[in-house]
Structures are given as structure tokens and as C-alpha cells.
Chain A
């Protein structure tokens, strides 16, 4: 084919090689990640094996004691379990509240209303996290907005002070992370063909069966993605537990933060962080088959 030869040859000459264009396009991102994440992480990993912060005038040596502390003291293990439980519960509540919302957004509402409702989901992202958490304190405290509202709704309701409780921490975190679950579920729900739901119904399936056998299995990738996006940051969270939980808000995240900010024991904080990271990895490894099947 003489014609095609003459047309393709010059183009090929000008085209940069594939490898070079891949490098050119991905290079900046990976360089940035290496500099901003891997290097500091590596430094922290190194710190976690030291007995004290390596500053002039401090006496430090290489040790495993930061790691052994975790296994020797029940306190840390209890905190770890508490943090994992918090992560699990927040992810669960986000699913319970977010999935129906995502379903309605993806399947029931169309057009302008969908955009408006989406905006309401995303708005929390636009406000400062600290302001969001502090505004919760006004809602949850004794004689706060929530108590007064319930008192108005049910006369003689009594007092309700959720401030500085485990529940307050869960409420604050669910509020912060709910959009992740709604968005990931929305994406996977909107890829489900409506005909599948119609088909299941035509075969006699009740709405519950359709949900259980068709919608939930097919939206599992979104649910899992949302749960992971929520679980990981929540188990290391410290701001919401600190502000809303008070004395009840002691989690691994807050203890780690203490090591860096008030106790100034960076090596212990670093070690706890890496134990937490390892724990997350172990959990994902264990659930890998389920996660893979789901997505």
C-alpha cells in the first residue's frame, strides 16, 4: 500500500518514543510523591528505631524499644482496638446513611434536582474542618441545639449532653467522611443498568430481593472503596476525637499526636504510626480475597 506508507512514515518520525512520553507524563507526579511522602516517611521510619529525637545535645541510640512498648503495654493494644472499632463503626454508619442517599441520587432523581442535592453533599468539603467540628460542639453540648430541638419536639424530653462522649466522636467523624461514601456509592450505583432492576422485578423479585441480590452485589466496588477511604483516615484521626471526645476521645491517633506535639517523643509516635500502618495492611491482606471479588 504505497499511499498509506507515505502518510504514516513522517508521522512516525515526529512521534516521541512511547517510553519517553510515559516518563515525561508520570515523572513529575512520582518525583513529587518521592520528595514529599516517601522521603519524610523514610525519615520517620528511621526515627522509630531511635531512643530519642536525634538533636544536638540529646543522647540517642538505635533501639527496638518503641516497638516492644506497644506489645508490652496493654494500653496501646486497647487503644488500637478502640481505633479499629471507631474506624469500623464510622464506615458502617457512613454506609447506612450514605448508601440510601446515593441510591436515590443515582436512580430516582434526575436533572437539576440531582445537581442541587449533590451540592449539598459536597458543601462540607468546602468548609474548614476545624470549623465543622467546633460547630458540632454547639449542637451536641448540654442545653445545645440538639437538646433544645428535641425538647421542643418532645416536651419534657429532659437533658441530653453528648459532648465528650464516644458517640460525639462518631457523629463528628461520620459527618466529615459521609461524602466519600455517597460519592463512591453513587458512581457504582449509576453504572448499574436500570433494566437489571426491571428484569429482576419482572421475574417476581421483591424490592428487598432486588436490593440484596442485584444492587448490593453490583455496587460493592463503590461500597468497598468508600469504606477504605473512610476507615484508613478515621483510625488515625485525632482532631475530632480531641475536640468532641475530650477525655473519652483517647485513640491511637490522639496518642500519636501527643508524642509529636506535647510529649516530644517523636520516636514513639513514629513507631506507633508504623504499627498502625502495618495493622491496616494486615487487615487489607486478610480481606484481599473479598475486596478483589467485590471489585
Chain B
């Protein structure tokens, strides 16, 4: 096991700057998610760490050792690919044994360790199957067993669950987390799925346009996004544009919103509020003194079984309010409603 340090790494392909001056510390034994939309550079970064391509500048250390010019086959990393990349010409056993085979491991040890790895991913007894005889979830497990059987220093996962359907994906998330904890291997995974990033990892880095925007625990990132992009990419967010005035955010129609902390800056500002933090309240409801209150017009209600989403409009701003389906009020489109939320949930963000 080892920590991974990426410092000031830049990489461009022709005119396209895929990574610009990215520095991240991946803790030993941690589970780190690189989250970003396509083209954000997250896969490029993973491929630099893996050693498939080399950074134009900057340094990558695995376990304290500078590896930025070491090719992938000499880095001792385990990698899982989006489409599993199982060798179709080999049985499950041979697939998992591959990494041991190229390391000239004695036959008896290969047998024992492949057995252990398959047991870890709960696929004992599938040794002789060919990849095409396995279901998607099983292939996934073989790919994982294959990536960790030779005890690499780092496990890299490239969109590991995106090829699975939703039910399987949730199951595999739990499995992946369990296995990662049991093995204790430093894990870096790339995803565009914010929910996957939040549930799986203990640290998330948000990338955009080849830059690291923000990193932190899933909770920190979700509760305290620093940019409008991070707020909207990681979960849903209502964005309020206004002008900072006397520590408060003044909207165009004069409504004043109190924020987490009094605004220090002046001028144009944006604040983000999560849809589930906002409640639709009765006109007569007693509100605590630190509440923000806003009138809005209901445009549409989206019913999703256990929850409802209300799409509303306040002036030029579209709003979204999320409510659990627990005695939720029966509201009609066009109706004016009163929204209220805690000032502490109003997060100033960079636009």
C-alpha cells in the first residue's frame, strides 16, 4: 500500500490543455473519487497516475517514489476498466492469474491467491467460465479480483460501475466499498456520477477544464460547495444571483437573503441552496428568526413515488424544491407558495 502524490501536473494534447497544474494528495488506504464531466481531465489524470501516458510537467509519486517517467507495466498498479476489459480468450482463472503469471509466481501460489481473490469477490467456483458466460456484475467482480490479486500499491478504477444497471450498481457499490476496506488498498476512482462519488469515497476531488476546483469529504463538498459548478454538479442546487449589501444578498426584486456568514465582499454574488433544504410553508407558519423567506409560483410538480420535486419560479429564477412524500401538500400549478429555509443553508459560491 502506498500514498500517491500528484504535484503540479500538466498535460496537453495538441492545443487542448487536458490538465493544468493539478496537485492532489491521495492518502494511504484512502478511497478518493475524481469527479467531473467529460472533458474535465479526470481520465487523463488517472492515466497519468497509471502510467499509460506521461505528464508534460509536474511530478507523480507512488509510495514516495517518483514514477512520472516509469511506464505502466513497471508501476505495480491495479486497474479496473469501464468495460471490464476481461481477456475473452481466457477463463476466469487465467484472467485473474494473469498479473501473477507475468510476475513469474510459482504455480501453487498462483492457485492459492487466485482462489483467495475469487473468494473475496464471491465468485468461487467460476474458475473455468469464460467471460462471455458471465453476467455484467460477475464480470465486474472478475475485473476487480484481477486488479488486486497481485497486491498492487494502488487501485485505479475508471468509471467502474457505469456499465451496470441501477440495481446492480447499488449492490456493487456496497461490495466495492467492503472489498476496498478489507484489502485496505489506496483507491482512486474516476466517475461522472456524483451519487457514486458521494457514497463510495471518503474524499472527492471535483475537476473541471483540467483544473481541480475543490476537494474534501463528500459531506464538505455537498454542504459547502465553493463554486456554482461544484454546487450544481454535485447534487442539485438553486442559484440566487444578487448584489451583496450590508452582509446580505439582495435579489433583483428587493428580497434580502441572509447567508451562512455575513457576506464580506460587495458587488455581484451568487448563493446556492440545496432543494431539500427549502420547505414550502403555510402563510401562518411560525418561522425561526434566521430563516430566509421567498414567495414563488409553482410551475410543475414531479411525482417520483417516495419523493416529490416542485419546480417553481421567482422572477427570472427557476427554483427546485425537494420534499419527502410525507403528507406533502396538494399544490396546484400556478399557485403562489411561500418558501422558507435556514440562512445557514445559503452558501455563497463563486459563479
Contacts and interface: CB of A to CB of B under 8 A. Distances in A.
B102 A209 contact: yes
Interface string B102-125: 110000000000000000000000
A196 to B, nearest CB: 5
Contact of B98 (A198, A200, A217, A218): A200
Contacts, number: 60
Given A196-B87, A214-B87, A218-B89, A203 B146 contact: yes
B343 interface: no
Contact of B87 (A200, A201, A204): A200
B76 to A, nearest CB: 7
Given A203-B99, A204-B103, A217 B89 contact: yes
A218 B150 CA distance: 24
Contacts of B76: 204
A195 B85 contact: yes
Nearest to B72: A201
Chain B interface category by residue count: 20 to 34
Interface string A196-228: 101111111110010001100110000000000
A199 B73 contact: no
Interface in A163-207: 193, 195-196, 198-206
B52 A193 contact: no
Interface residues on A, range: 10 to 19
Given A195-B85, A196-B85, A217-B89, A202 B98 contact: no
A285 B88 CA distance: 26
B50 to A, nearest CB: 6
A27 to B, nearest CB: 36
Interface in A229-276: none
Contacts of B72: 198, 201-202
B83 interface: yes
A201 B79 CA distance: 10
The A interface, classified by DSSP as helix, strand, loop or mixed, is: helix
Given A195-B85, A217-B89, A218-B88, A202 B102 contact: no
B77 interface: yes
Contacts of B82: 195
Contacts of B146: 199, 203
Contact of A206 (B50, B73, B89, B156): B73
Contacts of B36: none
Contacts of A198: 52, 72, 79, 81, 85
B78 interface: yes
A294 to B, nearest CB: 10
A203 B81 contact: no
A138 B71 CA distance: 48
Contacts of B156: 202
Contacts of B99: 203-204
Interface string B135-148: 00000000000110
Contact of B102 (A193, A206, A218): A206
Contacts of A193: 83, 85
B98 A205 contact: yes
A202 B50 contact: yes
A202 B77 contact: yes
Contacts of B71: 201
Contacts of A205: 73, 98, 102
Interface in B56-76: 71-74, 76
Q: Which 7 pairs between the two chains have the least Cβ-Cβ distance? A: A203-B99, A195-B85, A202-B79, A199-B85, A217-B89, A205-B102, A195-B81
Interface of A: 193, 195-196, 198-206, 209, 213-214, 217-218
11 contacts: A201-B71, A202-B72, A202-B78, A203-B73, A203-B78, A203-B102, A204-B103, A204-B150, A205-B98, A205-B102, A206-B73
